[in-house]
């Protein structure tokens, strides 16, 4: 499947597509899309309200031919090694007489059942191998028997075709050989021997995958014959000296099972990669762990990203207001609302909300972020004032320390009118006067503020510092 990205959050995979307007959405736009939070139906398109189509969870999957290291590593998991060890022991030590026949059939059944379990798990996008217990405790679909019936039916089809004409038999055998990977995948998904033998179903799957299917077939052939080539090489190097010993036989049997697991892993990954094109619906885990308030927040942030992208600022504002009514005092939502108000022509709402947001930051000891909000608002409202004098003084102090001298002065301007008879006024005007004289070179205004403060508050604890400012020579 071609890599599809969310249109609003690049570098994140798209999970949903609108069939009407073709918009692609990711998890951040449509959070917990399969949970009951969305009601009975699939989520609706934010742009046109049409029901969305789920793309599957493989929209960022790499092509299978780039995953060869993964296919080699998958059988090395502990659960898989346990299965490989069991199969190796059965095939090495129990190979004579009736008991050997029974052991061989049991070994083949375990391998095929485990292989189909791998196709199912890997097809769902899971990288953890199934356990041996999952395979031995039940096979309600009887996939081992179905696989045996499928192989016998293919053999019968080739024999029948050869009876009609040898060339026709070769043609049927060539087609079935080419279609074998597709047949296994169809059987794994649909659990039907009839469908796995249906030429139209197999051709449809191969055409849906396209030219990569030929590469899949070549890889399947290489994996299938790989262990036998290696076994022939190992035995051939020792043939002049002695028959292969027990360790060599064990290694050969291990290789055969190992490469079989690799093949099943690759077929499962191809199902995962092409799930949308093949109509293969993966098991979806509803994100019920997301609380109602978290969902409301995530949904609003997703909607706002889309609406702002479309410059529908008022719609975005309404969406955020609904979320804030349900999720009070959430900083992320409030910060997003602040950025949105900066795009709108509503200075009253901007000032009121900024004052509230600053206090939220201060309550969580995020003074630096509170300063950022004030600096942001001052680009639009130079005379912006805060509701609490203590907050204004604290932020002005930090602004001065950070070099935002004029911004600090703006916040303290007309402090006596904004906060009449406030206990913080002497400290605020001392800061203003000091900043004007020492950093902005405005001695006249700074001294006037110092004189005014000493006149109104002669016994304040800042009087010594204020007098010192007045005694500084011009």
Domain with residue 468: its CATH number is 1.25.40.10
Q: Is residue 254 part of a domain?
A: yes
CA dist 209 and 221 (Å) reads 18
349 lies in a domain?
A: no
Q: What percent of the chain shows pLDDT beyond 70?
A: 91
Q: Are residues 54 and 81 in the same domain?
A: no
- Our count of domains for the chain comes to 4
pLDDT at 358 over 90: yes
What pLDDT score was predicted for residue 310?
92
Residues 98 and 148 in one domain: yes
Same domain, 394 and 316: no
Q: Do 185 and 271 touch, CB atoms closer than 8 A?
A: yes
- The pLDDT value recorded for residue 238 is 55
Cα angle, residue 381 at apex, residues 376 and 384 outer, rounded to 5°: 90
DSSP state, residue 130:
P
Max Cα separation, the chain? 119
Measured distance CA(143)–CA(50) in Å, rounded: 40
Same domain, 218 and 161: yes
Q: What is the pTM of this model?
A: 0.66
Residue 5 near residue 25, CB atoms below 8 Å: no
Residues 22 and 75 in one domain: no
Q: Measured between alpha carbons, how far is 219 from 66 in angstroms, rounded to an integer?
A: 12
User: With the CA atoms of 70, 1, 300 and 21 taken in that order, what torsion angle do they form, in degrees rounded to the nearest 10?
Assistant: 180
One domain for residues 367 and 434: yes
In a domain, 243, yes or no: yes
Establish if 398 belongs to a structural domain. yes
Whether 3 maps to a domain, the answer reads: yes
Q: What is the pLDDT of residues 112-144, one digit of tens each?
A: 888 888 888 888 778 888 887 777 766 677 888
Q: What's the pLDDT tens digit per position in 269-303?
A: 888 888 777 766 665 555 556 788 999 999 999 99
Give the pLDDT mean for 185-203.
89
Mind listing the pLDDT tens digit for each residue in 14-53?
888 898 998 999 889 999 888 888 777 778 999 999 988 8
Q: Supply the pLDDT for residue 87.
A: 86
Domain-terminating residue out of 278, 308, 326: 278
351 in any annotated domain: no
pLDDT, greater one: 140 or 434: 434
> Quick one: residue 161, left, alpha or beta (phi over 0 = left, psi -120 to 50 = alpha)?
alpha
- Of 60, 91, 107, which residue sits at a domain end? 60
Q: Looking at the structure, do residues 32 and 19 belong to the same domain, yes or no?
A: yes
Q: Using alpha carbons only, what angle is made at residue 184 by residues 86 and 250, rounded to the nearest 5 degrees? A: 25
pLDDT in tens, 288-341: 567 889 999 999 999 999 999 999 999 999 999 999 999 888 999 999 999 999
Rounded to whole angstroms, the Cα distance separating 167 from 161 reads: 9
Domain span at 384: 360-474
Do 119 and 213 share a domain, yes or no? yes
Which pLDDT band holds residue 404 (cuts at 50, 70, 90)? very high
Residues 404 and 436 in one domain: yes
pLDDT (average), residues 83-91: 85
Q: Among 278, 302, 334, which residue terminates a domain?
A: 278
- The answer to whether residue 289 sits within a structural domain is no
Looking at the fold, whether 222 and 81 belong to one and the same domain comes out as yes
> Tell me, what's the pLDDT at 55?
80
Let me know if residue 283 belongs to a domain: no
- Do 270 and 300 share a domain, yes or no? no
- Same domain (yes/no): 142, 24: no
How large is the angle between the packed helices 405-412 and 367-378, nearest 10 degrees? 80
pLDDT at 474: 45
């Amino acid at each position: 499947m071609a890599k599809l990205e969310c249109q609003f959050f690049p570098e994140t995979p798209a999970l949903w597509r609108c069939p009407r307007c073709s918009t692609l959405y990711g998890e951040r736009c449509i959070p917990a899309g399969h949970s009951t939070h969305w009601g009975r139906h699939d989520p609706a398109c934010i742009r046109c309200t049409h029901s969305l189509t789920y793309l599957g969870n493989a929209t960022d999957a790499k092509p299978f031919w780039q995953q060869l290291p993964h296919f080699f590593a998958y059988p090395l998991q502990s659960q898989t090694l346990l299965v490989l060890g069991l199969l190796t022991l059965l095939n090495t030590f129990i190979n004579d007489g009736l008991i050997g026949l029974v052991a061989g059939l049991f070994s083949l059944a375990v391998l095929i059942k485990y292989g189909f379990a791998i196709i199912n798990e890997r097809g769902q996008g899971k990288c953890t191998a199934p356990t041996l217990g999952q395979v031995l405790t039940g096979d309600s679909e009887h996939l081992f028997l179905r696989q045996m019936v499928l192989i016998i039916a293919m053999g019968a089809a080739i024999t029948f075709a050869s009876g009609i004409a040898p060339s026709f038999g070769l043609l049927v055998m060539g087609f079935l050989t080419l279609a074998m990977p597709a047949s296994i995948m169809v059987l794994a998904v649909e659990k039907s021997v009839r469908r796995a033998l249906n030429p139209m179903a197999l051709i449809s799957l191969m055409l849906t995958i396209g030219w990569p299917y030929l590469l899949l077939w070549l890889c399947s052939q290489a994996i299938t014959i790989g262990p036998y080539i290696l076994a022939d090489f190992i035995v051939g190097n020792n043939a002049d000296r002695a028959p292969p010993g027990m360790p060599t036989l064990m290694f050969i049997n291990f290789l055969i099972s190992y490469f079989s697991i690799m093949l099943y892993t690759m077929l499962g990954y191809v199902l995962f990669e092409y799930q949308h094109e093949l109509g293969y619906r993966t098991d979806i885990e509803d994100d019920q762990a997301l609380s109602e308030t978290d969902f409301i927040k995530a949904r609003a942030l997703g909607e706002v990203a889309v609406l702002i992208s479309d410059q529908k600022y008022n719609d975005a504002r309404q969406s955020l207001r609904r979320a804030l009514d349900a999720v009070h005092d959430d900083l992320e939502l409030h910060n997003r609302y602040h950025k949105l108000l900066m795009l709108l022509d509503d200075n009253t709402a901007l000032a009121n909300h900024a004052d509230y947001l600053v206090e939220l930051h201060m309550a969580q000891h995020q003074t630096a972020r509170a300063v950022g909000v004030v600096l942001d608002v001052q680009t639009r409202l130079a005379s912006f004032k805060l509701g609490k004098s203590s907050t204004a003084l604290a932020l002005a102090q930090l602004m001065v320390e950070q070099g935002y001298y004029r911004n600090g002065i703006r916040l303290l301007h007309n402090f006596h009118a904004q906060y009449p008879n406030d206990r913080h006024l002497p400290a605020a005007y001392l800061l203003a006067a000091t900043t004007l004289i020492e950093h902005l070179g405005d001695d006249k205004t700074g001294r006037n503020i110092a004189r005014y403060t000493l006149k109104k508050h002669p016994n304040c604890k800042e009087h010594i510092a204020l007098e010192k400012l007045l005694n500084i020579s011009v």
